[in-house]
Amino acid sequence: MKLRVGLLGGGSWGTTVASLVSRNAPIKIWARDNDTVRDINENHRNSKYLPDATLPEALQATGDIGEAVKDADVLVMGIPSNNFRDVLKEAKSYLRPWVPVISLTKGLELSTGKRMTEVIEEVLPGHPVGVLTGPNLAREIMAGQAAASVISMEDEIIVKQLQQLFHSGLFRVYTNTDLLGCELGGVLKNIIAIAVGMGDGLGAGDNTRSALITRGLAEITRLGVAIGGRPETFSGLTGMGDMIATCTSPLSRNRHVGVELGKGRKIDDIIEDMLMVAEGVKSAPTVMALAKKYNVAMPIAEDVYEVTKGTRSAVRAYRGLISASAGSEADAG
Ligand SMILES: NC(=O)C1=CN([C@@H]2O[C@H](COP(=O)(O)OP(=O)(O)OC[C@H]3O[C@@H](n4cnc5c(N)ncnc54)[C@H](OP(=O)(O)O)[C@@H]3O)[C@@H](O)[C@H]2O)C=CC1
Ligand SMILES: O=C(CO)COP(=O)(O)O
């Protein structure tokens, strides 16, 4: 019998993952916006978030969260980090016991600093948890371009079963049991993408971009390993892979925020003009708190934090980064 899937969140990535899964299994996507529900069911489109894409006819949406959750054998969460816990709590009363819950979200909870899988474990104790993460820009995948991703869960058997749900055609899904490392890679790369965008917005060159990506990867690996991730995870798809996609693509929302900051715009104005979420802005203070807790130097993330807070200009941050004294490549800084 085929596993039935419920997916919560009708944004660009939730809709993309639901479209992929619909090739393998029956799926119901829940969106709170009735226009989005109607658009998916009647026009096979999500004009708000994926204006150029035609969705599979098999993909059915609902505006009733209970309808998406009650029959699900697997629950997938495509809700941004700031609303993740509230939506999960709403889903809880409909969810059957032991149903695995997979997060698509690349952010941390602002009030607690927790990863989304930690939030799931708190709200739904006993449910197996995991993430689907990697270099996956939604619009490219909807356009049919090849991509690789990772499903990560600590349980080696369940992760292999769920791999089959997400793997399809040109969307190649690997497994990884380092849940913490995979999840943190997706969160932390957003901040480095803002830094790279800032450099690009200031007119920096390809050498600068390469230096920021490489040094950025070193600093997110240091923090990730200090918290408990495996070092090799950060060189894989969920670390370096996602860094490259997010730091170099004009489709990245986090990089876009950085580019606009680099041009001298204010963070509130940039966010106000954006329809979609840029998780790195919200994660920056939490990541700096984690860096302090684990005593890890993160000079690039610190600059991003200061610039997004409005206490440092992008020009000053950039000058600081290039004028800082360079020690050994193995050191921070
Ligand atoms: N887009 C991408 O390429 C990728 C995104 N991700 C991650 O996926 C997560 C989701 O991002 P994405 O889909 O791109 O975001 P979008 O900004 O495209 O969409 C956000 C979606 O979340 C919904 N939402 C927000 N708050 C609530 C709430 N309280 N209740 C119900 N629905 C809510 C929005 O609904 P409404 O329209 O009603 O506001 C909208 O459907 C993020 O953490 C992101 O980092 C990961 C990989 C790729
Ligand atoms: O995570 C992503 C690609 O893997 C999407 O990045 P943005 O949220 O910056 O668009």
Task: Say if 9 falls within a structural domain.
Answer: yes
Residue at which a domain ends, from 177, 200, 232:
177
Whole domain around residue 304: which residue ranges? 181-323
Q: Same domain for 166 and 188? A: no
Same structural domain, 109 and 234? no
**3-class state of residue 171 by DSSP:** strand
Alpha helices in 93-137 (DSSP H): 116-123
248 lines ligand 2 (CB under 6 A): no
Whether 236 and 169 map to the same domain: the answer is no
Which of 16, 251, 252 has most ligand 2 atoms within 8 Å of CB, for mutation? 252
Q: Tell me, yes or no, whether 157 and 199 share the same domain.
A: no
CA distance 106 to 129: 15
Closest C-alpha to 288, from 333, 223, 196: 223
User: Which pTM was predicted?
Assistant: 0.97
**How deeply is 54 buried, as exposed, middle or buried, from its count of CB atoms within 10 A (0-12, 13-18, 19+)?**
exposed
User: Is the ipTM value over 0.85, yes or no?
Assistant: yes
pLDDT in tens, the chain (333 residues): 689 999 999 999 999 999 999 999 999 999 999 999 999 999 999 999 999 999 999 999 999 999 999 999 999 999 999 999 999 999 999 999 999 999 999 999 999 999 999 999 999 999 999 999 999 999 999 999 999 999 999 999 999 999 999 999 999 999 999 999 999 999 999 999 999 999 999 999 999 999 999 999 999 999 999 999 999 999 999 999 999 999 999 999 999 999 999 999 999 999 999 998 899 999 999 999 999 999 999 999 999 999 999 999 999 988 877 666 667 777 766
Domain count, the chain: 2
Both 201 and 229 in one domain: the answer is yes
Ligand nearest to the CA of 258: 2
**Residues 204 and 224 both lie in one domain:** yes
Ligand 1 centroid distance, CA of 203 (Å)? 30
CATH number of residue 109's parent domain: 3.40.50.720
Residues with C-beta less than 6 Å from any ligand 1 atom? 9-14, 31-33, 49, 78-81, 83, 86-87, 104-107, 136-138, 276-277, 279
Q: 266 and 222: one domain?
A: yes
201 and 171, same structural domain?
no
